Amino acid sequence: MELNNKSISELKKLYGQNSVKPSEVVQSCLDAISNKDNEIGAFLEVMPEDALRRARELEKESSEERALFGIPIAVKDNICTIDRHTTCASKILKGYKPPYNATVVERLLDAGAIIIGKTNMDEFAMGSSTENSAYQITRNPWNMEFAPGGSSGGSAAAVAAYMVPVALGSDTGGSIRQPASLCGVVGLKGTYGRVSRYGLVAFASSLDQIGPITRTVEDSAIVMNVISGRDTFDATTIPDKPGDLTVGLGRGVERLKIAVPGDLERWDIDEELKGILKDTVAKLKEAGANIEPVKFPDMEASIACYYVIANAEASSNLARYDGVKYAFRAEAESIGEMYERTRGEGFGDEVKRRILLGTYVLSAGYYDAYYNKAQQVRAMICSEFETIFSTYDLVMLPTVPGPSFRLGERIDNPIEMYLSDIFTTSANIAGIPALSVPAGFTRKGLPLGIQLMAGYTQEAKLLQGAEMLEKIYNFNKG
């Protein structure tokens, strides 16, 4: 029995039957990592001794007492784990070990989960291919010559390659959903504030969100149940617990009103993806959903707004890495030279590009023209989504314009790389929940994803619709 191939819900059932032990599940995942990850490069650090020790401790308990009892989980390397490396895949944080766990990690452990390792990412979550890591490149498990997406590419690849049943990622402009789409897994980001950001190394604080990457919609709901909720360490968290997000599963989509953008034809979308979207609309109508085209918030304005706000906040957040407090410090003869050399040598090209852009849009003479204007556009996008969700339950559109791209193909063309996020950034700008579901393959065998968005705090409705898409596509059983 290949236990690493099992979903969370399948493992929970096996534990309930006393058919397997947590140490057996962990060992199966460790074996899969050992066999596959030398080629894929999903993990920056694996913790076999810690994981097996915790598994044996859990074997003394009842499996029914904890929601994630004995479930191995990988964690993106920008989420703090106590006394374990948290580098954000950056040279400037090489060797850094936080003195505390992120709130999400504490909640996973309280629920009985087993942290098995830290996954690779684009440096400081800035990228769409996981090629910007200072340590290694991650490859797409479906084709090793292609990118897994980013910035949570290591997490998506680890789940897609059956090395772990679930991994945590972070999503600032699509960094959970985009790699989930390119790797053929489920990627969920909740409403802004649904999950605590305490212990998530900041990129853009008003956009960053933590969420699960899994192989099934039900598993995403199970993990979100655990990690969401108010946190006194994060004042932006939503006060109310969302309730059990699995209760809407199995209800279908009868009488749900689903909007699709009416102008998708003007975008350069993969033809096979267009066919999947058209077929999905037909099947959802057969299932009883009411689907209509709507005027969607301007995606070009959204992505421009995103890259102004995100880079401005990155410029501010990354100012703390100066070589004085922790981690990497360059040798220099003066403190001014030390600052310059530390940041120049410690940050990669993409991070430096975004710091420069962010500093520029915040500078005197340009603040009103760029940053203030972007905030006005953000308010407009939020208002337009409120109008849509006053009538419709869900919005459906592609996650990304097409399948994965070859490694190296876009690394020297940042604009083309940024446009990978054209359909994902608006959900972060508006702070609404969104999810990517694997929908099928191209003729070349690369996964394609379809995205759903829902209104503020409507995760249960989002998961309800996503489960129906999962049944239509039958991806993991095809």
Active-site residues, by number, are 76, 151, 175
Q: Specify the 3-state DSSP secondary structure of 473.
A: helix
Whole-angstrom Cα distance, residue 60 to residue 388? 51
**In contact, 201 and 87? CB cutoff 8 Å:** no
For residue 120, which of 128, 107, 130, 111 has the smallest C-alpha distance?
A: 130
ω into 151 cis (within 30 of 0): yes
Task: Find the angle CA(157)-CA(162)-CA(167) to the nearest 5 degrees.
Answer: 55
Give 177-229 as a DSSP string.
HHHHHHHTSEEEE-STTSB--TTBPPS-TTT--EEEEESSHHHHHHHHHHHBS
Contacts of 191 (CB under 8 A, 6+ apart): 238, 431, 432, 433, 456, 457, 458, 459
Q: Specify the 3-state DSSP secondary structure of 439.
A: strand
